[in-house]
Chains A and B, each alone.
Chain A
Amino acid sequence: MLDLRQIRKTFFPDTPNEVQALCGIDLLIPEGTFAAIIGTNGSGKSTLLNAVAGAFELDQGGIHIDGREITTWPEYRRAGLIGRVFQNPFAGTAADMTIAENIALAMRRGCRRGFGLALHRTARAEIAERVRTLNLGLENRLDNPIGTLSGGQRQALTLLMATWRRPRLLLLDEHTAALDPKSAAQVAELTLTLIRQEKLTALMVTHSMQQAVQLPERIIMMHKGRVVRQYEGQEKDRVRAPDLLAAFDQVRRREQLDPAVAALLAKQYG
């Protein structure tokens, strides 16, 4: 379960470049829920995920995972609870190290790392077995540098690494956006399989309305650092891609009105 309370973040405060990236976000993602975040460029989606992962300190607000407050935890400590996949396929793996070594690192996420050999025989066997389930033929290339793989293959492995030890929360930031359509579909399918299998709590940023409508149980719409709308339950099941686009338009139109006028109109017409 992820619980965000009144999260605020302003970049470059008190300068001409000031950006209010997160303006008081309240969000509750129940255990086992897969939620998608959609929103225009610069609406703060990545910033929200980075805030949860601990990439920077918040100006205000609290972050709780499974009832534990992690607001002051450093990023590497939060990684014990959080699995991540980045938009850039190169960001999630160490290019010059082998597939097996990369996975060996992920196998110890959140555990003590001692002086045991990282790739002893049982670890190797387990790695080969789980890589085989990806159906990418990578189990024969475990000792190749991961940098020699394609973006889609790397992203699939990053996903496997992020979920190797069941994370309390999985964060996916447009993790299929940099891939060709075919790989993107494969990785999206793998994402869904892994999340359903392990009943993971997950937050996925996406620009694809199709993905947003098809994959998750809940849709969170962001605009200018706020959550402007959420779809869940039956409403989510009914919603289609054009409806989401229409909702965006509505948000934008409302924004063009003077706030005072908007408030007046809202009072008048409910």
Chain B
Amino acid sequence: MTLVIGALTIGLILSLLSMGVWISFRVLRYCDITVDGSITLGASVVAILLVKGWSPWTATLVATLAGAAAGLVTGILHTRFKIQELLAGILVMTALYSVNLRVMGRSNVPLLDVETLASPMARLITRCSSNSDTLGVCGWQVPVQDAAMLVTVLLVTVAVALVIRWFLLTHIGTALRATGDNPQMVRAQGVNHRTMVVFGLASANGLVGMSGALLAQYQGFADVQMGIGMMVWGLASIIIGEALAGRTTPGLALCGAIMGTILFRLLVAIALRWGLNPNDLKMVTALFVFAALVLPDSVKSAMHRFFKRQHHA
């Protein structure tokens, strides 16, 4: 049960990251590696602010804005200074490594006994369950802290997903989606496609920053290394999500991104439980994304060749 709750919570937190990656990778069709840096940026900003005693909501908001600023820089490097999209992201990601160390002042900030986003919910649950520090759910004893975190994260993620879905259906959101699809058409319809790219990358990395902020509050520390491979992680989740929910409408795609992230996290938790060496995790994730990107096409062409041979025989 702890495993499931942990996987659900982390899955929901990383859903924010996946939705961010979905906006850059699928909506804008922009391969944005800034993500690896901006998730850590979100975590380090929130950690330092919480240690200084800021309110968790304000701290999370500031972390989100910090992530958005990182995306803004990548977008400007790409559109204004004509730097290739991948390189623009790499530059910002590299610079963010130093920024994160500067923000935290060291490579790791623990968050012990600080007020987090889940604290109000924990107090509420404790009051309702006559002051015990565990909670009975279907016969299982769940620590109140964990339950509170799960509920809070669920509320935040669902709210954010609804806002994104609404936004993508507005006039600006429609223009944003079209920008990734056909920038020439978007310009011919009177939209500044560069502004759209910058804006899209800023929102995507804002989500990633928020994800980092929640992750730090959940695991109780921020670490300068925690962002490595996160973009690929997001990709893997999106690909699973697309297999589950399709990608025909923004609503379905967002649903898919959330479900895919949770499922991927569950799979990883189970694999680790079965003895997968945590050191191999990134390799496995990368191989998974590779397979998911390549297999559908090669299976199709193999089938095609197979049937053609049958046909000739």
Contact = CB atoms under 8 A, between A and B. Distances in A.
Interface stretch (A61-69, A115-123, A211-219, A242-250): A115-123
A109 interface: yes
Contacts of A117: 169-171
Contacts of B175: 105, 113
B277 interface: no
26 contacts: A74-B192, A75-B187, A76-B186, A79-B190, A84-B188, A90-B182, A91-B185, A94-B182, A94-B185, A95-B181, A95-B182, A97-B178, A101-B174, A101-B178, A102-B178, A105-B174, A108-B171, A108-B189, A113-B175, A113-B191, A114-B170, A115-B171, A118-B169, A118-B174, A119-B169, A161-B189
A151 interface: no
B94 interface: no
Contacts, number: 83
B193 to A, nearest CB: 7
Interface string B138-159: 0000000000000000000000
A79 B188 contact: yes
Contacts of B191: 76, 105, 113
Contacts of A84: 188
Interface of B: 167, 169-175, 177-178, 181-182, 184-193, 248
Secondary structure dominating the interface of B = helix
Nearest to A96: B181
Interface of A: 53, 74-77, 79-80, 84, 86, 90-97, 101-102, 104-106, 108-110, 113-119, 145, 161-162
B252 to A, nearest CB: 13
B170 A118 contact: yes
Contacts of B167: 115
Given A106-B189, A113-B191, A94 B177 contact: yes
Given A113-B171, A114-B172, A118-B171, A77 B190 contact: yes
B292 to A, nearest CB: 19
B182 A79 contact: no
A162 B188 CA distance: 9
Given A91-B182, A113-B175, A162-B188, 11 more contacts: A53-B188, A75-B187, A75-B188, A84-B188, A93-B182, A94-B181, A94-B186, A97-B174, A105-B178, A109-B190, A118-B171
